[in-house]
Copies of this chain bind each other. A is one copy, B any other.
Amino acid sequence: MPAKELRIGLIGGGRIGKLHGRNINTSVPGAKVVCLAETMLNDGHKAWVDETGIPKATKDPADIMNDKNIDAVFICSPTDTHADFIIQAARNGKHIFCEKPIHTDMQKIKEALVEVEKAAVKLQIGFVRRFDHNHKKVHDTVASGVLGKPHIVKITSRDPEGPPLDYIAVSGGIFMDMTIHDFDMARYLAGSEVIEVMAYGAINIDPGYKKYGDVDTAVVMLKFENGAIGLIDNSRAAHYGYDQRTEVHCDKGCVQVANDLNDTSVISTGDGVFCEKPTWFFLERYNNAFIAEAIDFVDAVSNNKKPPVDGKDGMMAVYIAMSANKSLKEHRPVMLSELTKLFININSYIL
């Protein structure tokens, strides 16, 4: 056990921020949240920090950045603030856990990653699904090599219900907001970089998406460097729960995982056979995965290890999402290199 407990500043007190805060203080040994910074701080936040055993709450993130006793930050604020908080934290020598996506502006991402590199702090991106027991088993099986080279990577990812349309207005679009998780999952499962993307989209659920140039149903094909082909299908509204299945078909066979269900019951009557639905949404399905990623972050910082999901992982998922957007708009397959070469001169960082 590390001699010293990791002291964490939490930036953002929304749903995901509270989730991480509670997890750290109840289920992550060797770490404590010591301050919440939330620009819209209200009485609800104050009650929550009391309950959760967080001794301080502030409206000003600088209170965290400037506190010498804080070792690391969890960035759970809106996406367009991520890069700046990463830069500030890095410059203050703090280790960083940042929610996905790292940012939607590639130039900002690169600037942030350069600062992280300079400061030699740890950066972990919140691709929580990598820590799910099911998807991890698919990854581990493929990575072990027992099935040989991957041929086909399949990801089904459907939300139970679409968000309100005013969220869609600012979401960055389905690929940057929702499929971004699947793009990371695809790289994780294939063990290889994506080199090309072809996207189909449709508005099947709510005509309101049209106004925002967005789609509610999407299918994406991916080509990987190692010769594998990827397939992702998304829906904003599956209705029956959170549909999160992955599958990799390899040289010697196939590994696949089904959804976790609410329970294993089977009720058989003359009217039919009734089984349980998948767990409702990400809070239910990825509950343990959120704890596991925080534990791994604390372990990476405390024991000077490479974080399991790093800045390059965060950046690559954004490149794929940008390529998918371009493919959908231009109705053609898009090579990732068309985009990566545009950003090649920004700095010396990856790609």
In whole Å, how far is A313's beta carbon from the nearest beta carbon of chain B? 23
Q: Is the CB of B254 within 8 A of A238?
A: yes
In whole Å, how far is A107's beta carbon from the nearest beta carbon of chain B? 30
Q: Is the CB of B275 within 8 A of A273?
A: yes
Question: Is A200 in the interface zone, CB < 8 Å from B?
Answer: yes
Q: Is the CB of A254 within 8 A of B240?
A: yes
A266: chain B residues at CB < 8 Å are 255-258, 275
Question: Is A233 in the interface zone, CB < 8 Å from B?
Answer: yes
Which B-chain residue is minimally distant from A254 (CB atoms)? B268
Chain A, residues 290-333, CB within 8 Å of chain B (1/0): the string is 00000000000000000000000000000000000000000111
Roughly how many angstroms separate A332 CA and B255 CA in the complex, as a whole number? 30
Roughly how many angstroms separate A326 CA and B84 CA in the complex, as a whole number? 47
Q: A239-B269, A267-B255, A274-B273 are in contact. Are A200 and B200 (CB under 8 A)?
A: no
Chain A, residues 227-243, CB within 8 Å of chain B (1/0): the string is 11101010100111101
In whole Å, how far is A195's beta carbon from the nearest beta carbon of chain B? 12
User: Number of contacting residues on A, CB 8 A?
Assistant: 68
Segment among A114-122, A151-159, A178-186 that sits at the interface with chain B: A151-159
Q: Is the CB of B239 within 8 A of A253?
A: yes
Q: Is the CB of A147 within 8 A of B200?
A: no
In whole Å, how far is A165's beta carbon from the nearest beta carbon of chain B? 18
Q: Is the CB of B133 within 8 A of A262?
A: yes
Roughly how many angstroms separate A273 CA and B26 CA in the complex, as a whole number? 34
Roughly how many angstroms separate A156 CA and B251 CA in the complex, as a whole number? 16
Segment among A59-67, A68-76, A98-106, A215-223 that sits at the interface with chain B: A215-223
Which B-chain residue is minimally distant from A147 (CB atoms)? B269
Q: Is the CB of B152 within 8 A of A219?
A: yes
Question: Is A260 in the interface zone, CB < 8 Å from B?
Answer: yes
Q: Which of B26, B137, B231, B276 contacts A263 (CB 8 A)?
A: B137
Q: A219-B221, A254-B243 are in contact. Are A249 and B263 (CB under 8 A)?
A: no
Q: Which of B136, B253, B332 contacts A240 (CB 8 A)?
A: B253
Roughly how many angstroms separate A333 CA and B330 CA in the complex, as a whole number? 11
A233: chain B residues at CB < 8 Å are 152, 154, 229, 231, 249
Question: Is A202 in the interface zone, CB < 8 Å from B?
Answer: yes
Most buried by B among A137, A204, A259: A204
A151: chain B residues at CB < 8 Å are 202, 204-205, 217, 235
Q: Which residues of A contact B (CB under 8 A)?
A: 26-27, 29, 51, 133-134, 136-138, 141, 147, 149, 151-152, 154, 156, 158, 198, 200, 202-205, 217, 219, 221, 223, 227-229, 231, 233, 235, 238-241, 243, 249, 251-260, 262-270, 272-278, 331-333
